[in-house]
Amino acid sequence: MKFALNHMTAPAMPIADVLDLALSLGIHAVEIRNDLAGNAILDGTMPGEIRKLAEDRDIEIISINALQRFNEWTEARAREADELIAYARDCGAKALVLVPKNDGTGCEDGARQQNLRESLSALKPRLEAAGVIGLVEPLGFTICSLRSKQEAADAIDAVGGGNVFKLVHDTFHHHLAGEPAIFPAMTGLVHLSGVTDPAVSVAGMRDSHRVLVDGDDRLDTIGQIRALLAAGYDGCLSFEPFAPSVHALVDPGAAVRESIDHIRAAV
């Protein structure tokens, strides 16, 4: 198993310290983000600086997370996409995560698929020119405009995008979506988190419930990992907890190491 560390694991930590944290855990793959106020990328850190920090530590930047509302293609979205794709190229990131609209709009059957194909068609030449992979991440929330990995896979095929687009399998969103199928050959990244709160319903689960995976996980993250590995997935398993309780940890490294040990033993 190849583990990775998403900056969301310790969002207040400067990027250089996140890279050092990864190294201390024997992890050589990191996801950076463009949604952390006061931190790279939003603080103006230049892509060349990110590249050097990573290269000095022999760490691969596997993605920038993320182009939001990617399936609502507008002039503003095109400009945002161009900026993020250029940043990914210049910092050495292998991929850009693509997150769909998640506000209850754009969910109508027919229009939903057409919007998705339109956005993928517009993104495809941009990503190809930069040598960057687009990682499409369906979200399991009922208000999301792209919940199904099957629908995403069909749209990728429809635009001839198999060489430039891959899927994100997020263990949280996979559980919420209730879609049994997995797509190991099309999966470019797996996001790991668990939910341990016994009181919250599946319909009520939100990002704030997402903790590091342990023995009390309700998402069957271990079963999902087993299924993906058995079907041939050999990419990264990236920790992406959003819970404030994780973000407040004084020693996040110890907590991640404990989760890695649990996953290795259970899988």
Q: Could you give the count of Cα atoms lying within 13 Å of 202 in the half-sphere of its Cβ?
A: 12
Question: What is the DSSP-derived secondary structure letter of residue 207?
Answer: G
Short-list 11, 70, 3, 52, CA closest to 30:
3
**pLDDT value of residue 98:** 98
Q: Which helix (H) or strand (E) holds 125?
A: helix 111-130
Give the CATH superfamily of 2-266: Divalent-metal-dependent TIM barrel enzymes (3.20.20.150)
**pLDDT value of residue 166:** 98
**pLDDT value of residue 62:** 98
- In whole angstroms, what is the distance from residue 179 CA to residue 161 CA? 22
**pLDDT value of residue 233:** 98
For 17, residues 6+ apart whose C-beta sits below 8 A from its C-beta are: 10
3-state SS, one letter per residue, for 57-103: CCCEEEEEEEECCCCCCCHHHHHHHHHHHHHHHHHCCCEEEECCCCC
What would the two tokens of residue 84 be?
Answer: 């993020």
**pLDDT value of residue 192:** 98
- Is the whole model's pTM more than 0.95, yes or no? yes
Q: Point out the residues of the chain with pLDDT beneath 70.
A: none
- In whole angstroms, what is the distance from residue 31 CA to residue 18 CA? 10
Break the chain into its structural domains and give their ranges. Answer: 2-266
